[in-house]
Structure 1
């Protein structure tokens, strides 16, 4: 045995590891690895039959790679396990002081628990319907006037709504919205531009919802070609927003989407104005915990709850953030997991950090090696996130076989050729509807993780590709070709 190992080692030195290893690489994978756009890239693959736990295909499965939004599957799985599929976020309206002669001599409070669904465009509910429930509860309590203010209490999470690990180009973008103790409108607003002839600067028409506190620095140009390279950027809690890039000339209604920089303060102002229109007069200026704490004016008082409203159940939220890759939903759930972590008195740790601690510890307790998991957010937007194909396959296998929330997790993943971000993948092929996968993409990164149902068996499937060259659409087509080839035969071999 010793001599045999020595011969193999010498052969590796003489002929290279790739020559020997290629003998165990299936032909479809070898064709994929030989593509010019994959040469120089880092690739990891694992396919495991769920019921038997048998590894069918494996390539560099212990290599730590950036998973992008495939990390959302880890967030979803852990949350369904710990919080339960019926968990709901709560938002309450309360007051301090006393009510006399229809006047509240005190403050109204809007207390958040991180709910990402308030006035969310992802829910099939009328705009402001939840606010109407709140105002009805206030009027039912006999309150027509408030001598104090409407104050948003978003203190359940810290003020690091945007991860320090996110890239500068993501800040202020429509997908880089922060997650806070109180969120509203998906923490996004829409900005509409009108462009003239090529070479001119488009004019800003209006925002939805209205953002009167923001100052826009417009460096956008109109161009003749049907190009769209325009984006908005800016920092959290800053009222300065910068517009760069180009939009097509002669457009009367060009839409951009960006993040709300201070959702709690915006919500306080928005809800204050709504209550005023509903006939509830509030004398004080709307504010939030962050502002009042910074000014030394926050006071802990005894409050009485008027109404508590709830989000849809977690199983529905997981389906949303995996289907449409909603970063806010995923990060809000991730930070909620972090509430289960109690740091020591000497440990300074953010809400993102607490979430990572809970996730890592949980899977370790379940017997899955989580040492390869480097998790800095729940959405996968941080480029410092790292994970192995093996870890993901182990989690998927656990969720399919042992989890009480198995059905909720599996159905949170979009079906290839049918749903969500996978609606165009493998469409019309033999695997349409048989693959449930979460996609993940960023610059030179494309990944997939989930399940494949084939010939009466279920397989956990993970493919991670980092640092490829060329267009993402070409890489997507190559991965699609690889998966179709791997599952082409009656039984994968």
Structure 2
């Protein structure tokens, strides 16, 4: 077999020779090569850094490659490696516990000593489940605690954000703090957030009515919103728990998520409310400390399994679930990544040629190649947890972050892939079933793309073309030159799609 490499032709007895400058393109399928070349040569990608590789999912043979060995920012495609390594390290049956403990003794209905609430990082804990722990304590006969309420979140270190995360993402639900004691107010497990509800007042011009769920004494709302036509803005002040609500509305808006400063403190407030609701009095103060050795478990809660959690993590590209896996592996971001890296070689990734500092891909310090990403897909097929993991990937035109993409094409239902989005970065990596029933893997990573064009059009065109292989392919879709922005314009206009975030992060899919 022969391969074209930057205009030169070399013989390859086995495998594919890659070059540091540009990569190699297989020519055993000239029509596919021509179409993929055309997609990547579109004017919208001038000046961008794009890597693409297509391989046989069963043999690993390279079908097409272009600069695929070069490291790039891969955004949420990193979750492929994080979840696969965590499944290998922790096992799909791993579960997180939240417990009430005490080293004290019972005297009738009084617990003589401290009551300890200890978390191990369960990102799915909710107000109702913390309330259930308080109810279990009441049902055991306890109505008074003579000592203090001790909050133990020492299973994780105190660093709330991954290295290199952007400070201006802080208020948004996709950039919440990671804590061993946290709370999710919604079914998508948006850990470290609260729900903010806004509805109009009794008459035009009256203050809008703002409520926060769950009720707590940590978040302070500054409400200047009024009743009338307009829109509502909800912003949390940097480094604080002050949430400012402004604007105007004539109708109740859809609940919006806001991150909180110090999720452990939020949990403390919510749990104290639960104790009071159950008639349990705590005589002492509240403090944060590790549970004493040998403390007895009075009540406990257990999360769903890691294998079950992988689905909302990958389908919705949930950053906070991914970061919990890192800290569960090693308490801190740094040590957690080191622990997970012990499983990378078994997933086809050389730890010495990648740079990874978090679990979600939010950091721009992460550097991984498309070649590495497809190696993960191929190696995963031999793992006992593969069926669960593959089923957790978004499906084109069906669900997750691909629910609105590639509908009514050959890729719909036949492409299972992980999306990735940051400003100037977009990626799509996954499996594709072709029309001639061949299983392929692919990874396309785009860096340095302009903010005013759709990199997802490039990705979708590639995935659709691969799905059409073995049939009659449609003409490749070439992305046009981006429209010029006006001076200073950075954000999309109203009604325009955003390409700098995952659609699930802003409830757009």
Question: Does the C-alpha gap of structure 1 residues 230 and 260 become closer, same or farther in structure 2, counting only changes over 3 Å?
Answer: closer
Match 1:451 to one of 417, 428, 431: 431
Number of the residue aligned with 1:483: 463
Answering whether residue 184 of structure 2 is matched by residue 192 of structure 1, we say: no
RMSD over aligned Cα, in angstroms? 3.2
Task: Answer yes or no: is 1:148 the counterpart of 2:173.
Answer: no
Counterpart residue number, 1:13:
none
Query: Normalized against structure 2, the TM-score is what?
Result: 0.79
- TM-score, with length taken from structure 1: 0.81
- C-alpha separation between the residues in 1 aligned to 2:92 and 2:386? 10
The structure-2 alpha-carbon separation of the partners of 1:221 and 1:27, relative to structure 1 and needing over 3 Å to count, comes to farther
State the alpha-carbon separation in 2 of the partners of residues 221 and 272 from structure 1: 33
1:433 paired residue among 409, 413, 416 = 413
* Equivalent residue, structure 1, for 2:268: 268
1:217-228 equivalences under 5 Å are none
Q: State yes or no: 1:68 paired with 2:75.
A: yes
Aligned residues: 444
Structure 1 residues 303, 405: closer, same or farther in 2, change over 3 A?
A: same
Partner SS, residue 138 of structure 2: helix
Instruction: Give the gaps of 5 or more residues in structure 1.
Output: 10-16, 120-126, 290-297, 340-350
Give the conservation status (yes or no) of the 8 Å contact 2:348–2:372: no
* Alignment map for 1:124-203 (pairs within 5 Å): 128=128, 130-185=129-184, 186-193=191-198
Q: Tell me how far 1:229 sits from its aligned partner.
A: 6.8
Greater percentage in helix: 1
Aligned to 2:367: 386
Alignment partner, residue 92 of structure 1: 99
Looking at structure 1, the residues matched to 472 and 84 of structure 2 have their Cα atoms a distance apart, in angstroms, of: 26
Instruction: Kindly indicate whether the alpha-carbon contact (under 8 Å) linking 2:52 and 2:66 is maintained by their aligned counterparts in 1.
Output: yes
The match for 1:395 is: 376
Residue 35 of structure 1 deviates from its aligned partner by: 2.2
CA distance 1:391–1:201, change in 2 (3 Å): farther
Query: CA–CA distance in 1 between the matches of 2:92 and 2:146?
Result: 41
Q: Residues 432 and 466 of structure 2 are in contact (CA less than 8 Å); yes or no, is this contact kept in structure 1?
A: no
Q: 1:302 to 1:369 in 2, by over 3 A?
A: closer
Deviation string, structure 1 residues 439-478 (Cα, Å, up to 9, x no partner): 1111121111121122333222111111212445x32123
Structure 2 gaps of 5+ residues are: 10-20, 185-190, 474-509
Check 1:267–1:96 CA distance in 2 against 1; reply closer, same or farther (3 A cut): same
Are residues 1:420 and 2:400 paired?
yes
Deviation of the 1:228 alpha carbon? 7.0
Structure 1 position 336 matched with structure 2 position 328 = yes
Deviation at 1:232, TM superposition (A): 3.2
- Label 1:205 to 1:227 Cα distance change in 2 as closer, same or farther (>3 A): closer
Shift of 1:140: 4.2
Which residue of the partner structure matches residue 234 of structure 1?
238
Map of 2:492 onto structure 1: none
Aligned pairs for 1:271-350 (under 5 A) are: 271-289=271-289, 300=292, 302-338=294-330
Match of 1:460 in 2: 441
Q: How much has 1:78 moved relative to structure 2? A: 0.6
What CA deviation, in whole Å up to 9, does each residue of 1:252-277 have, x standing for no partner? 54643211211112212211111211
The match for 2:42 among 30, 35, 40 is: 35
Give the CA deviation at 1:45. Answer: 0.9
CA drift at 1:247: 5.2
Q: Decide whether aligned partners of structure 1 residues 299 and 309 sit closer, same or farther in structure 2, where only a CA change above 3 A counts.
A: closer
CA distance in 1, matches of 2:359, 2:328: 10
